[in-house]
Amino acid sequence: MANFKTRINQWIKDHREEGTDLLQRLVQAPSTQGNEAGAQAIVAQKIREMGLQVDIWEPDGGELKKHPYFYSPRSEFSNSHNVVGVMKGTGGGRSIILNGHIDVVPDGDRNQWDDDPYSGAIKDGKMFGRGVTDMKGGNVSLILAIQALKENGIQLKGDVIFQSVIEEESGGAGTLAAVLRGYKADAALIPEPTNMRIFPKQQGSMWFRVLVKGRSAHGGTRYEGVSAIEKSMTVINHIRALEEKRNARIRDPLYRNTPIPIPINLGVIEGGNWPSSVPDLVKMEGRMGVAPEETMEQAKNEMAEWLLKIKEVDEWFKDHPPVLEWFGARWVPGAIDVEHELMNTLVNQFREVAGQDPVIEASPWGTDGGLLTHVGETPSIVFGPGVTEVAHYPNEYILLDHVFTTAEIIALALIQWCGMEPLQDEQDAVLASNEDK
Amino acid sequence: MANFKTRINQWIKDHREEGTDLLQRLVQAPSTQGNEAGAQAIVAQKIREMGLQVDIWEPDGGELKKHPYFYSPRSEFSNSHNVVGVMKGTGGGRSIILNGHIDVVPDGDRNQWDDDPYSGAIKDGKMFGRGVTDMKGGNVSLILAIQALKENGIQLKGDVIFQSVIEEESGGAGTLAAVLRGYKADAALIPEPTNMRIFPKQQGSMWFRVLVKGRSAHGGTRYEGVSAIEKSMTVINHIRALEEKRNARIRDPLYRNTPIPIPINLGVIEGGNWPSSVPDLVKMEGRMGVAPEETMEQAKNEMAEWLLKIKEVDEWFKDHPPVLEWFGARWVPGAIDVEHELMNTLVNQFREVAGQDPVIEASPWGTDGGLLTHVGETPSIVFGPGVTEVAHYPNEYILLDHVFTTAEIIALALIQWCGMEPLQDEQDAVLASNEDK
């Protein structure tokens, strides 16, 4: 066994320049929503050269729209391809999906960037640029892991399905399209930016809107009206109580360092239109965290039932109940058993390569892992080299060392998970030894 | 004395049709801001026919802008005239300003009106239309009162200064311009819509804005940020406490039926821009009621000092104090001694004509009486025929009976306040009686 480990380690050392160059070219191809074609072409060419069976297609918006888990601000995906590359196993091993998204969020205010957001500039072992951490660095780790196996003549028994998908940042339509195209596996790994922590659980989330009613009056006689702003304070406190109740149920040690495992965030408030009038309507919008153990529907129902109970807090709401709406984006939660064999595999190989125990936590945000788990029936782990803190921020960067260490861990994990045919030279050695006898 | 009272009563009965026609023509001339010329022409023609000395001018925006009490969204008043008519007294009597505004607020959503907003339609003793109650009905009461004196040959000793001003609904620039033109008197009467209650005090008000800061974070880890929405709740409670403190000081029996004599109303709230982010800024706008006994500056300072104290409630505000701004409109409070001679006069004549005691209260809103009192040094009373509840609302109306009753009360009050020369026929009678001796 030491043999192939040494080879992989050496191969990755020898291919740092090639990997760095690939990552830089990917960062320099700005793949914001609708502009993924350039970066996907680089990916497709690379995996074709590596000898994978390549599948490229434009997701069918019409078909996707019918699916209950579809969400995107668009339903037309011309020139926004998904790219999948399959390395078929020899048979008898476990299969795996390696999923990474190619889309990046917009670069925002360019004045906040020290360099061009798509420079791919390298300083002090870091590469900079939009998407380098979220998650082109992780994608390169996947590619290098597969390439390391290929070029060292390592044959796996199980299938490896590499996916470069669109739309993760906008609701997961790319991964959903891959699931609907039939791609499933025994497990999945998604190298989103976790700072190399291992996330067997991911918080899901949904957006909601609450409309709070009041009754208008002139501000000089405000006591003749009912302020929707004051009533909103009651609603906010009521929602806080729900958050407390929901989080009190969560006792999973994965959350021991998380103050609020599934927060309910109120992000937007807007109400009233005249300083001298008592406001009769306030609109609030927020994000409800969804636990890995619950369904979106359960969470929705709990919120709806809880809001109905507010009439017990304040009689006003009997005749003027808050109106609850679900809108916009939602991210399905994900969970895999911490004793799942892929977890053990990943932890083992992390220790092997990094020489220390990995941090295992639950993530506070969703990934496409929720869709893979709940729609694709493929339990998923999130583990990647990117820097969590700079995702979506100016001067996004990644530590190049982490890209290569992650590639090595994943390569070894693939061998352990999928199973490996004896190496040709080992076979030769066995044959030679037999001949000797 | 019974003689001229009977005559005035009879004259007003005989001129109901003429008064109704005048009011209808005024309502049918929509005098929203910038469009006052048509209605002012009707007023000017009427008072010229009555023999008043007429003064018509366009307020000088350049001059007004320099005045600390000026507020208007515009500073150009071309074709927006003030109209003043003076009935000079014979000398030795007290003078009075009779002030009414000609501007009306916009008609708003026409679908909420049963008729055209400028129909002046009459049904069941009510006339309908934008501005009929606020305050063209009151203006017609003033004109009829003066005309009744004129046409009955009643000569007053003190001057009567009738003012038809622009801009009351937008901050009082019309009345300010009249003050700056030199019009002053021993007292003033403003027939704003009080339901024929007498208001010796009027609440003033100012608009303010409060900016509340937070610290942004992702909603999935909201505990890493500080929600400006939650901090706003602390600010709202703090402002409520200030309102309580300020109102506890007010013991004037005029406010005995007013739950909150000088409310602080929060009319607008707006903050955050993304459901999944912790909001880092909330803006609130409101109206601070100002007591007749305090100055605008005192009220401003009290609010500013109180907001500084919020750091004692929550340490967050030590480094992130709420930012207070004063903006937009303000209305100066007004007050006259309840024992002022014009109060006694008005109460007497109300009893005389209406056969019952008037309701005397403090008003919950400002009028141009604040400017007349504080800038024009002319103590003012607000008393008029309009229906308080429908001012600024669709289907605004006035009870025509009240217009004429008010006219009669004001005519008699003018006689008592300004003093009256003996009537010609009374003089004749005295002379005749002397000849008899």
Together in a domain, B167 and B65: yes
Is the pLDDT reported for residue A108 higher than 90? no
CB-nearest to B275 from A271, A279, A287 is A287
B268 with A272: Cβ contact below 8 A:
yes
Do the domain assignments include residue B57?
A: yes
Domain end, chosen from A287, A309, A330, is at A330
CATH code, domain with A256:
3.30.70.360
pLDDT for A231: 98
Tell me the one-letter amino acid at A135: M
For A113-139, write each residue's pLDDT tens digit. Answer: 999 999 999 999 999 999 999 999 999
Retrieve residue B323's tokens: 């930012």
A265 with B277: Cβ contact below 8 A:
yes
A112 neighbourhood in chain B, CB within 8 Å: none
Do the domain assignments include residue A435?
A: no
pLDDT for A339: 95
Residue A274: CB atoms within 10 A of its CB come to 16
Min Cα separation A368/chain B (Å): 16
For B292-344, write each residue's pLDDT tens digit. Answer: 989 999 999 999 999 999 999 999 999 999 999 999 878 899 999 999 999 99
B283 neighbourhood in chain A, CB within 8 Å: none
Together in a domain, A37 and A170: yes
Do the domain assignments include residue B435?
A: no
Residue A161: what are its φ and ψ, rounded to 5°?
-110, 105
Residue B200: which H helix or E strand, with range?
A: strand B198-202
Together in a domain, B175 and B61: yes
Say if CB A137 and CB A145 are below 8 A apart.
no
For A70-97, write each residue's pLDDT tens digit. Answer: 999 899 999 999 999 999 999 999 999 9
CB-nearest to B263 from A219, A287, A329 is A219
A260 neighbourhood in chain B, CB within 8 Å: 222-223
CATH code, domain with A71:
3.40.630.10
Do the domain assignments include residue B433?
A: no
Share of chain B above pLDDT 90, in %: 87
The upper half-sphere exposure of residue B32, i.e. CA atoms within 13 Å in the direction of its Cβ, equals 9
Together in a domain, B188 and B236: no
Is the pLDDT reported for residue A1 higher than 60? no
Q: What is the ipTM metric for this complex?
A: 0.85
Residue B234: which H helix or E strand, with range?
A: helix B228-248
pLDDT for B328: 86
Domain end, chosen from A300, A330, A360, is at A330
Would you mind telling me the total number of residues written for chain A in this entry? 437
CA-based radius of gyration for chain B: 25
Min Cα separation B364/chain A (Å): 5
Residues whose CB falls within 8 Å of the CB of residue B167, separated by 6 or more in sequence, listed in order? B33, B59, B72, B77, B80, B101, B103, B173, B174, B175
Do the domain assignments include residue A345?
A: yes
DSSP, collapsed to helix, strand or coil, labels residue B265 as strand
Together in a domain, A250 and A383: no
- The segment with the largest mean pLDDT, out of A70-74, A387-391, B404-408, is B404-408
Do the domain assignments include residue A179?
A: yes
Domain hosting A306: range is 204-330
Query: Which of A27-41, B45-59, B105-119 is least confident?
Result: B105-119
Say if CB A178 and CB A377 are below 8 A apart.
no
First CA to last CA distance, chain B:
24
Among A276, A284, A388, which would you mutate to test the B interface (most chain B Cβ atoms within 10 Å of its Cβ)? A276
Closest C-alpha to A296, from A59, A70, A66: A70
Min Cα separation B219/chain A (Å): 5
Residue B207: which H helix or E strand, with range?
A: strand B204-213
A285 neighbourhood in chain B, CB within 8 Å: 272, 275
Residue A344: which H helix or E strand, with range?
A: helix A341-354
Domain end, chosen from A330, A347, A364, is at A330
Together in a domain, A262 and A348: no
For A170-212, write each residue's pLDDT tens digit. Answer: 889 999 999 999 999 999 999 999 999 999 999 999 999 999 9
Count structural domains, chain A. Answer: 2
Retrieve residue B110's tokens: 């026409």
Together in a domain, A37 and A174: yes
Residue A289: CB atoms within 10 A of its CB come to 27
Together in a domain, A51 and A171: yes
Together in a domain, A11 and A92: yes
B266 with A229: Cβ contact below 8 A:
yes
Say if CB B142 and CB B162 are below 8 A apart.
yes
Residue with structure tokens 């892992």?
Answer: A369
Q: Is B252 a catalytic residue?
A: no
Distance from chain centroid for Cα B242: 26
Do the domain assignments include residue A437?
A: no
B272 neighbourhood in chain A, CB within 8 Å: 266-269, 285
Say if CB A397 and CB A124 are below 8 A apart.
no
Residues whose CB falls within 8 Å of the CB of residue A264, separated by 6 or more in sequence, listed in order? A239, A240, A242, A243, A246, A286, A287, A288, A289
Together in a domain, A69 and A49: yes
Do the domain assignments include residue A430?
A: no
Q: Is A297 a catalytic residue?
A: no
Is the pLDDT reported for residue A243 higher than 60? yes
Say if CB A377 and CB A309 are below 8 A apart.
no
Calpha distance A206→A296 (Å, rounded): 8
Together in a domain, B188 and B276: no
Say if CB B145 and CB B407 are below 8 A apart.
yes
Together in a domain, B125 and B240: no
Residue with structure tokens 């504080």?
Answer: B374
A275 with B286: Cβ contact below 8 A:
yes
